[in-house]
Chain A
Amino acid sequence: MRAHQIRFIVLLLVVPLGAYSLFVVYPYVWAIGISLTEWRGLATPPSWIGLANFAAILGDPGFWNALRNNGVYLLFVPVVTVTLALVLAALICQRCTRLTEFYRVVFLFPQVMSIVVVAILWGYAFHPRIGLLNSALEVFGINGPSWLGDPNLAQASLVAVIVWNSVGFHTALFIAAMRAVPETYYEAARLDGAGNWRMFRDITLPLLRDPVRTSLMFMAFEAFDLFAITRIMTGGGPNHATDVLATYVYDQAFSLSRFGYASALAVVMFALMLGFSAVMLLVMRENKVEFA
């Protein structure tokens, strides 16, 4: 590479890397520092307490509760979303017509909407007295439950909203992938007497392996966050039934003024994410070998 090319590249990278260091790397490092202190987030400087915060996390039922809720999301959200998206995409692609394009656009709507708007709208849908859901149930004489007020229903209600919000995007991805499958494969299969289900299972699905895996990963990372939707729709309630790590960290810091402890929680969350990403990368690599 010539000198002026390198200069050009460096010049291009300075601004984004500088911004990244200032707004991402620096706060991370700073948070790790604060996690070793006790700090009320006021003017008195943080005081060093070593690893005491991390020891406290291990015995904090609030942390384990939030982690378990993240785990529940991790278990359900990716699988449900991707399965549903596959079914929808397959149904739409049964016959690729001009309507397919229309559906692709319609399915993208929820993804385009701000998550804040989605959360508020669904909050109304779940409203126990004037909500869409309970009004509909009332028609059948059913006294609807208090979706977001019942600890046994709140998280399931949120899963429904998250799936609704993301399923369209993945459907659109899968439609695109399905249309890329050469029609000749299906023709050949049909000549051999294969039915729709058989073709889906043995042709479409194997050829969609890559986009499906990408979608699963994408949703798995999403399951680790979910701050906005939780904060707006339930605030982590009722009685912490929908707390996730992100809202728990926020609560410890900004409601209870425990910034040192909250930073330690954030560091743990960071480590968990890092570990999870490493596992995911490994899984990907194994598969690549298989293809090679």
Chain B
Amino acid sequence: MSVFTVSRRTVLKGGAAALGAMALSPLAALAQTARFPIAEAARNPLNLAEGTAIEGIFFEGGYGIDYINHAADVMKELHAGTQISVTGIQGVADRLRPRFIAGNPPDVIDNAGAGSMDTSALRTEGQMADLAPLMAAPALDTPDKTFAETLFAGSQTGGVYEGKQVSLTAPYTVHGIWYDQALMRENGWEYPRTWSAMLDFCETLKSAGHTPWAYGGRNAAHYLVRGIVYPLIYKLAGRQAVDDIMTAKEGAWLKPEVLEAARMVAELGKGGFIMDGSEALSHTEAQAEWLLGGAVFYPCGSWIENEMRDVIPQGYEMTMSPIPGPTEETFNSVLAVGSETFFVPSAAKNITGGMEFLRCLFSRSTAAFYAETAGVIMPVQGVEVETLSSAVKSAMAAVTEAGEDVFPLDLPYQAVWQAWGALSPELLQGRLSPEDYVAGIEEASASARQAA
């Protein structure tokens, strides 16, 4: 019996992620587990030996760990004889480094969150196994498609290193500016569609007694870059400019458009639009203040709804829009990317087991479970969801409206992330000029380039 019912469902499709209705094709002829039908060819294409042990260690952050457990359950049903242990942790680097040094890493890892391992170090050292067998294997529960074909088009290019797919990213995360649509409606306000309109709107908010912006400068000041600076750079200078940033190319931060983006962001500080004390708050403190009305806008990724679920006030219509650019035409473009990095260590004892786990994790079954229980999107095509919250709906709508204008952020250099976190509050507080800001990040970018 299928756990899916066919009526009134939204189907999430990849790449442009158009929202539309699509009926599930009949799968009557297929064998099935207790959860979902499965084709014989998709049962064990990687030839996982029965009775082996698989150990997975996963970052447990805003997205929780339930989806990992679900994937483990799927895998246990599929391979009854195998022993699967999954653990959620924080501070991935501290916990896993000794195991890499000892040559005994787990079989599959989610490297994310504060204190994650330097992805560029892992790559250059060849610590990530080539996932080619997985990419070419039949997908678990999408008939007649390979695993690679079921993923959102273009969503995994960040995990390609020297021509090999060495990591996968998920959940699919849309980054933008979050606010309460109900508050906007009650006041007859419209979300501004150009940068100058945004500055005017911040004045309007101030005179109405609201603080326009909040952020968590203590540990999450890089949200300012990911939510505002980086998208502004894309909107001002296009794809090549952000590609140069991601590869830490020389001079990537010294372009005039990048300086212009820094100038624009500094205007938020100059106008007095930032919540007092933001620079000393943690991200959760800032988010709680924002939800309780301390500020109107908060730059973040689409995990925020799940992260703050217990704190969201009744009637708060959490909604996301892109940061407005210099012109109306640049409004729609949006940053969307897998936010956590999954990989199989090349020194793992059970590489096949690790890949098989990823096949179960990036399956329609897990994706549907995740979307329904937490409103979180896996980059897997054709997933049906009964209901979507306003937050997820707005995030997916933003991606749809952006069409081809979706851009990624895959930056494997901790040194650059660190510079973003250290320098951005200084820019907003007016203690650092836009010129010194971009120069400081260029410097971090150069040191990352040398270390890689």
Say if the beta carbon of B149 comes within 8 Å of chain A: no
Partner of B101, one of A43, A143, A254, A258: A43
Say if the beta carbon of A184 comes within 8 Å of chain B: no
Say if the beta carbon of A129 comes within 8 Å of chain B: yes
Q: Which segment of B52-60, B157-165, B419-427 sits at the interface?
A: B419-427
- In the assembled complex, the CB of B51 is this many whole angstroms from the nearest CB of chain A, namely 27
Q: A134 to B277: give the CA distance in the assembly, Å.
A: 11
Q: A238 to B280: give the CA distance in the assembly, Å.
A: 8
Which residue of the partner chain B has the closest CB to A143? B276
Given A235-B218, A256-B415, A128 and B100 touching (CB < 8 A)? no
Interface residues on A, range: 20 to 34
Contact B451 A256 (CB under 8 A): yes
Q: Which segment of B69-77, B115-123, B201-209 sits at the interface?
A: B115-123
Contact A41 B426 (CB under 8 A): no
Say if the beta carbon of A135 comes within 8 Å of chain B: no
Q: A43 to B100: give the CA distance in the assembly, Å.
A: 6
Say if the beta carbon of B310 comes within 8 Å of chain A: no
Question: Which of chain A's residues have a CB closer than 8 A to the CB of B278?
Answer: 149
Which residue of the partner chain A has the closest CB to B432? A239
- In the assembled complex, the CB of A240 is this many whole angstroms from the nearest CB of chain B, namely 6
Say if the beta carbon of A174 comes within 8 Å of chain B: no
Question: Which of chain A's residues have a CB closer than 8 A to the CB of B422?
Answer: 237-240
Say if the beta carbon of A146 comes within 8 Å of chain B: yes
Contact A129 B281 (CB under 8 A): yes
- In the assembled complex, the CB of B415 is this many whole angstroms from the nearest CB of chain A, namely 6
Contact B276 A40 (CB under 8 A): no
| B-contact 0/1 string along A249-281, CB 8 Å cutoff | 001001111100000000000000000000000
Say if the beta carbon of A107 comes within 8 Å of chain B: no
Question: Which of chain B's residues have a CB closer than 8 A to the CB of A40?
Answer: 118, 121, 124-125
Contact B122 A42 (CB under 8 A): yes
Contact A238 B347 (CB under 8 A): no
Contact B414 A238 (CB under 8 A): no
Question: Which of chain A's residues have a CB closer than 8 A to the CB of B429?
Answer: 150
Question: Which of chain B's residues have a CB closer than 8 A to the CB of A234?
Answer: 218
| A-contact 0/1 string along B100-123, CB 8 Å cutoff | 110100000000000101100110
Q: A149 to B215: give the CA distance in the assembly, Å.
A: 12
Contact A257 B118 (CB under 8 A): yes
Say if the beta carbon of B307 comes within 8 Å of chain A: no
Question: Which of chain A's residues have a CB closer than 8 A to the CB of B117?
Answer: 257
Say if the beta carbon of B97 comes within 8 Å of chain A: yes
Given A43-B100, A238-B217, A258 and B280 touching (CB < 8 A)? no
Question: Which of chain A's residues have a CB closer than 8 A to the CB of B122?
Answer: 42
Say if the beta carbon of A127 comes within 8 Å of chain B: yes
Contact A151 B431 (CB under 8 A): yes
| B-contact 0/1 string along A15-50, CB 8 Å cutoff | 000000000000000000000000011111000000
Name the residue among A41, A42, A234 with the largest chain B CB count within 10 angstroms: A42
Say if the beta carbon of A147 comes within 8 Å of chain B: yes
Contact B100 A42 (CB under 8 A): yes
Say if the beta carbon of B146 comes within 8 Å of chain A: no
Q: A257 to B121: give the CA distance in the assembly, Å.
A: 7
Which residue of the partner chain B has the closest CB to A128? B277
Contact B281 A254 (CB under 8 A): no
Contact B279 A150 (CB under 8 A): yes
Contact A128 B425 (CB under 8 A): no
Contact A237 B218 (CB under 8 A): yes
Question: Which of chain B's residues have a CB closer than 8 A to the CB of A256?
Answer: 118, 414-415, 418, 451
Say if the beta carbon of B405 comes within 8 Å of chain A: no
Given A238-B279, A239-B425, A257-B118, A41 and B101 touching (CB < 8 A)? yes
Say if the beta carbon of A148 comes within 8 Å of chain B: yes
* Residues of chain A having any CB pair with chain B under 8 Å: 40-44, 126-129, 134, 143, 146-151, 234-235, 237-240, 251, 254-258
A-B contact pairs, 28 of them (CB 8 A): A42-B97, A42-B101, A43-B127, A128-B276, A128-B281, A129-B276, A129-B281, A129-B289, A129-B294, A146-B276, A146-B277, A147-B280, A149-B281, A150-B279, A150-B280, A150-B429, A151-B426, A235-B219, A240-B422, A254-B97, A254-B115, A255-B115, A255-B118, A255-B414, A256-B414, A256-B451, A257-B121, A257-B451
* Residues of chain B having any CB pair with chain A under 8 Å: 93-94, 97, 100-101, 103, 115, 117-118, 121-122, 124-127, 217-219, 276-281, 289, 294, 347, 414-415, 418, 421-423, 425-426, 429, 431-432, 451
- Further contacts, 5 of them, CB under 8 A, given A41-B121, A129-B277, A149-B217: A41-B101, A43-B103, A149-B281, A238-B422, A257-B414
In order of increasing CB-CB distance, the 3 nearest A-B pairs are A128-B277, A149-B280, A149-B279
